[in-house]
Structure 1
């Protein structure tokens, strides 16, 4: 399978914790669908300490994984929302 585009999309979205509404990431998202995964190389600004836990309420909102050979975060359903 092909790797994700290095340059990536231009549109950025803000990703927030669903429980406490704290901002987690600023991310370059492609497409119009739901947020299922975040490629680490597309994260513009990271407001978390370890990329998988919210810094305020300490819930786990993602799991680290490899997708098509590239480091990514698989988002746990219902734990985050984006604008």
Structure 2
């Protein structure tokens, strides 16, 4: 399988907790689809203290995995939203 593009996309989105509305990441997302995974190399600003854990309510919102040989966070459905 192909690796993600080397050049990061131009558009940047903010990812928030669905429960307490706390900011989690600023992420360079490519395409118009749903947010299913976040490649670690595309995260521009990280507001979390522990990986994959909300800073305020300490619940897990993602799992650390390798997708196409690249480290990424696989999002759990309904835990986050983006603007």
Q: CA deviation at 1:51?
A: 2.4
TM-score (norm 2): 0.97
Which structure 1 segments of 5+ residues have no match? none
Matched, 1:54 2:54: yes
Ranges of 4+ aligned residues in structure 1 off by more than 4 Å: none
Partner of 2:7: 7
Tell me the number of residue pairs that the alignment of Structure 1 and Structure 2 aligns: 83
Q: Quick one: distance in 2 between partners of 1:50 and 1:7?
A: 27
Q: Quick one: distance in 2 between partners of 1:80 and 1:72?
A: 16
Partner of 2:35: 35
State the Cα deviation string for residues 29-75 of structure 1 (Å, max 9, x = none): 01111100000000000000122000101110000000000000000
Structural RMSD (CA): 0.6
Q: CA deviation at 1:78?
A: 0.1
